[in-house]
A = this chain, B = another copy of it.
Amino acid sequence: MKTKQTQRLWGAGFVQKPSDAVIGFTAGRDVVGSPAADAALMPYDMWVNQAHCVMLVKQGILPVSDAAKILEGLKHLDQLVKEGSFVLDPSKEDVHTNIESWLTEKLGIDVAGKLHTARSRNDQVTTDMRLFIKHQILAFVEQMLSLSTTLSMIAQAHKDTVLPGFTHHQHAMVTTMGHVLAGFAAMMVRDSERLLQWLNLHNTSLLGSVASYGTSFPIDAQMTASLLGFEKPSVNSMDAITNRWEPEVDYVFALSICMNHLSSLAQTLILWATPEFGMVTFADQFTTGSSLMPQKKNPDPLEVVKGKASVLHGQVVSLLGLGKANFIGYNRDTQWTKYILMDACSEVMFAPSVLAGMIQTMAVHKDQMHQWSMRGMVGATSLLEQYTQATYLPFRVSKMVIEKAVAYSVQPDMVNYGALMKAQKEEGIDASITRKQVRDWQDPKEILHATHSGGGPGGAEVEQSLRVLQKDAKSMHTRVNKYKQVLKKAKTTLEREIQTIIQKGAV
C-alpha cells in the first residue's frame, strides 16, 4: 500500500517523526504570522492600571467610589482577556486606548474618564515594557540554566570520551567531549549572569514620569513602584522617557550574546555530524528531510539557531540607532523599539530547549572520535611538552626539534621515532628517548591523564569545573526566585488593596 504523505514532502524513511516543536522552530514565520504587539502587553497594562488606580485613591486624587467601579471593571476585563473573548480593536490606536475605551463604554466617561489622571501613555507603556522584559528575562535565564544543566550532565558522562581539539579547524591537541560541553555550559552560566545584570540597571518603575516632565497631581511614585514589584521609581522623568530604547537594547544585546554562544554550539555539532567527521548522529525527530533528496536528515534546528543569531545582531543595531542623538523628551521613533524587542523575544524563545533536546538524543560515536584523536598529529604538542620535561631542553629548542620531527614523519598522523631521532641529531641534540615514550606521549589517554592545569580537558579537571558551574548556576536560580517572589508579593499586596477599595466603594 502506498504511503500517504500529504502533510510533509519527506520522511518516509524516518524512524521517529520530527516533533511539532521542531517543525515549528524550523518553519519560522512561513505559515504562522505574528500577533499584534500590544496583545503581549495586555496583562502588564492591566497590572499598571490597577496599581495606578489604587495609588490615586490612596493619594486622595480619585474618589473611592469611582475607583471601586474602575477596579471592578478591570477585573471583569481581565476575565474576558483570560477567556480569550477580548480582542484588541485595531481602530483604537493601542492597548491603552482599547482598555480606556472599553471601560468608558462600560462605566461611562464620568467614571472611566478619571483613570488617566496624572499619567500619560508614555510612562504607562514604558512601565509595561519593563514588566514585560523582566518577566522575559526571568523565564529565559531559566531556559539557559536548564540547557547548562543538560550540557553539564552529558559532559559528566563523557568526561573521558576523547576527541580531537581544534584550533583554526585543524587538529590542535586531544580533548574530551566532557571538556567541550563543559565549556559551552560555562558560556550559558555567564550569559545568565549577563541577563540578570539588566535588573541592576532597569528594575525601575516609570509611573510618575508622565509625558517626560512630571505632573502637578500629588502622586506617590514610590507606591506604584512597590505595587508593581519594582525596586524604585525613576530618578528623573526626562531621562526615563527619552531613553525608551535603553532597557530594550540592553536585553536584546544580552540575548544576542546568548545566541552567539548557541550558534557556536550549533556550528560545532553541525561539523561533528558531517559524514566526514562522523562523530555524532542526531535523532530523527530533530532533523528534517528534503522535498527532493531521499537520503536527507538535515540538522535544520542548528542552522536555524545560527540564522537567528544574525537576526538578533540586526536588532541590536536597530535599537542602537533608535537611541542615537535624540532630542529631550519622548519621540515617536522609539515606539519601534517595542516591536524589535518582541521580535527578538520570539526568535530566541525555543532555541535553548531545542538544542537541549537535540544534544540529549544524539548518538555519540566514541570509536570514531577516538580514531580521529590518533590522526592529524594531534599528539605532537603533548609530545613536545613531555620531551621538554624529559630532556630539560629550552622549550623553544625542543619545539624546533619536534617541528622538524613532524616534517620528517612519513605518515601525517603521528610523529615516529626515527623522525624524532633525525630531527634531534640535526639540531645537535643527543637526548635518550625511547620508542615507547614517543608513542605514549602521543597517546590520547596518556595525554589526558597528564593534564592538570585547571580548566583543561582531563577528566578530573572537567569534574572540578562542573562543580564550579553547578554552584554558580544554583546561586542564579536563587536570585531568579527572589525576583519572582518580589513580583508575587507585589501582586498579593495589590490584590488586597483592590479588595479593600472595592469593599469601601460598595458601602
Which stretch from A187-195, A482-490, A499-507 is at the chain B interface? A187-195
Q: In the complex, which residues of chain B have a beta carbon less than 8 angstroms from the beta carbon of A367?
A: none
Q: Once the chains are docked, how many angstroms separate the CA of A480 from the CA of B423? A: 53
Q: Once the chains are docked, how many angstroms separate the CA of A98 from the CA of B339? A: 29
Given contact pairs A210-B292, A240-B455, A456-B215, A194 touches B201 in the complex (Cβ within 8 A): yes
The answer to whether B291 touches A121, judged by C-beta atoms less than 8 angstroms apart, is: yes
Q: In the complex, which residues of chain B have a beta carbon less than 8 angstroms from the beta carbon of A291?
A: 96-97, 116, 120-121
Instruction: Give the size range of A's interface with the partner.
Output: 35 or more
The answer to whether A174 touches B307, judged by C-beta atoms less than 8 angstroms apart, is: no
The answer to whether B324 touches A310, judged by C-beta atoms less than 8 angstroms apart, is: yes
Given contact pairs A7-B97, A243-B187, A233 touches B36 in the complex (Cβ within 8 A): no
Q: State how many angstroms separate the Cβ of A67 from the closest Cβ of chain B.
A: 13
The answer to whether B333 touches A93, judged by C-beta atoms less than 8 angstroms apart, is: no
Interface residue A297 (Cβ < 8 Å from any Cβ of B): yes
The answer to whether A336 touches B310, judged by C-beta atoms less than 8 angstroms apart, is: yes
Q: Can you name the residue of chain B whose Cβ is closest to the Cβ of A117?
A: B395
Greatest chain B CB density within 10 A among A27, A171, A241, A332 is at: A332
Which stretch from A46-54, A131-139, A273-281, A356-364 is at the chain B interface? A273-281
Q: Once the chains are docked, how many angstroms separate the CA of A114 from the CA of B383? A: 17
Q: In the complex, which residues of chain B have a beta carbon less than 8 angstroms from the beta carbon of A120?
A: 290-293
Q: In the complex, which residues of chain B have a beta carbon less than 8 angstroms from the beta carbon of A84?
A: none
The answer to whether B110 touches A168, judged by C-beta atoms less than 8 angstroms apart, is: no
The answer to whether B294 touches A307, judged by C-beta atoms less than 8 angstroms apart, is: no
Interface residue A353 (Cβ < 8 Å from any Cβ of B): no
Chain copies in complex:
4
The answer to whether A165 touches B213, judged by C-beta atoms less than 8 angstroms apart, is: yes
Greatest chain B CB density within 10 A among A32, A372, A377, A456 is at: A456
Q: Once the chains are docked, how many angstroms separate the CA of A190 from the CA of B394? A: 51
Which stretch from A75-83, A431-439, A445-453 is at the chain B interface? A445-453
Interface residue A65 (Cβ < 8 Å from any Cβ of B): no
The answer to whether A274 touches B332, judged by C-beta atoms less than 8 angstroms apart, is: no
The answer to whether A242 touches B314, judged by C-beta atoms less than 8 angstroms apart, is: no
Q: Once the chains are docked, how many angstroms separate the CA of A171 from the CA of B299? A: 12
Which residues of A (271-310) have their CB < 8 Å from a CB of B? 271, 273-278, 289-300, 303-304, 306-310
Interface residue A13 (Cβ < 8 Å from any Cβ of B): yes
Q: In the complex, which residues of chain B have a beta carbon less than 8 angstroms from the beta carbon of A32?
A: 36, 90
Q: Can you name the residue of chain B whose Cβ is closest to the Cβ of A335?
A: B28
Report which of B111, B169, B190, B263 forms a contact with A271, defined as CB distance below 8 A: B169
Report which of B184, B293, B333 forms a contact with A307, defined as CB distance below 8 A: B333
Task: Identify 20 residue pairs between A and B in the complex whose beta-carbon atoms are under 8 Å apart, listed by A's number.
Answer: A9-B121, A9-B396, A10-B399, A30-B338, A109-B397, A112-B394, A117-B388, A118-B385, A167-B211, A167-B212, A168-B300, A172-B290, A186-B239, A193-B201, A221-B455, A264-B326, A307-B332, A310-B324, A313-B320, A314-B340
Known A-B contacts: A294-B402, A295-B377. Give 7 more (CB < 8 A).
A33-B39, A115-B395, A168-B329, A295-B381, A304-B335, A310-B324, A314-B319
